[in-house]
Amino acid sequence: MNYSDTSFAQSTTAPFLSLEAVRKTYPGVVALDGFSMEVGPGEVIGLVGENGAGKSTLMKILGGVTRPDSGTVTVDGVAHDGLTVEASIGSGIAFVHQELNLFENLDVAANIFFGREPLKAGPLRLVDRVRLREMVAPLLKRVGANFSADTPVASLSLAQQQMVEIAKALSIRARLVILDEPTSSLPIAETEKLLDVIKGLRAEGISVIFISHRLHEVERVADRVVVLRDGMLAGTLPKSEINHDQMVKLMIGRMLKEREKAAEAGRAPGGVALSASAVRTTAYPDHPVSLELRRGEILGLAGLVGSGRTELARVLFGIDERLGGSVALDGKTLGVGSAADAVANGIFLVPEDRKLTGILLDLSIAQNISLPNLPAHAKRSLVSTGAEIATAEKQKKALGIKAPSVLTRTGTLSGGNQQKVVLAKWLAMNPKVMILDEPTRGIDIGAKAEIYGLMRSLADAGVAVLMISSDMEEVIGVSDRIAVMHEGQVSGILDRDDFSQENVLLLAVGKKPRLTQAAGGVQ
């Protein structure tokens, strides 16, 4: 295996695009350091690397937003010292960003040809809606869309909106489509549709750069993997050598321990810490849900988007009203009517959207960590900055939060470090039950491993951990048991011997799993 070879050996066709010795620096930071790569026609390249590895800077250079300090960008054999936005678009380079750029108040057709609409009626310059629909229809067919040009974008799912973005790229005759974390917020079924669209683009001879932290998806669709580490090319992997462990090794310079596989043999969980009995949520008022969470275990909560997992977590944490049923902690019934009640009883929630509801981006690390427990950091009713800093320093060291200081603004941290701050504010308060909703969404493989390690440490210390995740690999790799929800109810619970993607998916759609004879794991 030659990790330093950047040539596209699988094809004799000249590369459509190549970068040679590209370097870009910012004050105090080398974002790209002599980076080189090639993109062949109709090639799907998996671009992977930890947060801060240089992927974003590379994309800005390809999009003409940023000019490299040195090096060349060659398109169709013509070398440039950098592209402009116009030159990038003119070369057929199109982007589908993680944060979609669509107007939800317009329909699909208007979004795809926004600013380029066909006009009629001479000087009146009215949009020719008939011609517009005719132009959009074949584009939607190419991406396998099951909606029409007249459909309001606001009514589409995330996966469908990404199809609109890809159709928009095709409308400018894209030769290279760059997909930035396109599946990070997608459920399993919609992820499959998007991966099929990528295969369709390849079949049409359109190149794709697929950026993702979900390495099993990269393994499925990529013809070649290019790995960035610290702004440099860490290596490439041809199709035959693409696998999870090799990608991780190149990304972080070492092999990870087997992915925090749940409990070691022989270690049994403790008694029931938290139990929900016939709890009814506002999302599924007619479907009572019952669940038991044990001390010292990580219980994975899987299910399709809309199955009621987040709604259950919000009820357990007291954010949403419980319409019926009961919740007990260590055998004692709780009247959790608010988040303050949950916190007072040692039940904490790490929410799905950390930036919206987990942290305050404009506050410092120390302020975020002390916020849920200000009385413990106050003297004579005034918050002590020194006390805040002392607590934050302890958590920063314990969790490995990478930041110059605990006074650093939280919004400047990477996604993984922001997630650690969310965890830190609860860990400082000695949790009994920790509920984590999509704990590793949008963070890189190295930070994921650290989060998994923290979760395992919590369980080892006797904390009951409930982990909600749409990442099948994560659920199977981290959990001690897996509970699966379907239409607001727990459709089954799997013990480790019965962990498989097939069993989780069967339960997620309301069907019976295939269990080992000795198990009887579904409860």
pTM: 0.62
Cα dihedral angle (190, 191, 197, 201), rounded to 10 degrees? Answer: 160
Question: Contact 377/387 with Cβ under 8 angstroms?
Answer: yes
**Is domain 270-346+432-523 given the CATH code 3.40.50.300 in the classification?**
yes
Closest CA to 449 of 420, 491, 485: 420
Residue 267 has a pLDDT of 57
1-92+175-255 and 270-346+432-523, same CATH topology: yes
Residue 521 has pLDDT above 70, yes or no: no
Residue 124 has pLDDT above 90, yes or no: no
119 compared with 289, residue with greater pLDDT: 289
Averaged over 311-328, what is the pLDDT?
91
Residue 185 has a pLDDT of 66
Residue 307: both structure tokens together: 């199955």
Backbone angles phi, psi at 244, to 5 degrees: -55, -50
Residue 195 has a pLDDT of 87
Q: Report residue 262's pLDDT band, with 50, 70 and 90 as the boundaries.
A: very low
Question: Contact 242/216 with Cβ under 8 angstroms?
Answer: no
Round the average pLDDT of the chain to a whole number and report it. Answer: 84
100 CB-near residues (< 8 Å, 6+ apart): 158, 161, 162, 165
Residue 102 has pLDDT above 60, yes or no: yes
* Residue ranges of domains in the chain: 1-92+175-255, 105-173, 270-346+432-523, 362-430
436 CB-near residues (< 8 Å, 6+ apart): 349, 350, 455, 465, 466, 467, 468
> Rounded to an integer, what distance in angstroms lies between the CA atom of residue 391 and that of residue 398?
11
The model's pLDDT over 126-180, given as tens digits with 9 standing for 90+, comes to: 888 888 888 889 888 887 788 888 899 988 877 788 888 888 888 888 899 998 8
The model's pLDDT over 472-505, given as tens digits with 9 standing for 90+, comes to: 888 888 999 999 998 889 999 999 889 888 888 8
Cα dihedral angle (368, 433, 501, 510), rounded to 10 degrees? Answer: -110
Any idea what DSSP says for residue 413?
Answer: S
Residue 368 has pLDDT above 80, yes or no: yes
**Strand 481-486 vs strand 298-303: parallel, antiparallel, or unpaired?**
parallel
| Superfamily of chain region 1-92+175-255 | P-loop containing nucleotide triphosphate hydrolases (3.40.50.300)
Q: What percent of the chain has pLDDT over 70?
A: 91
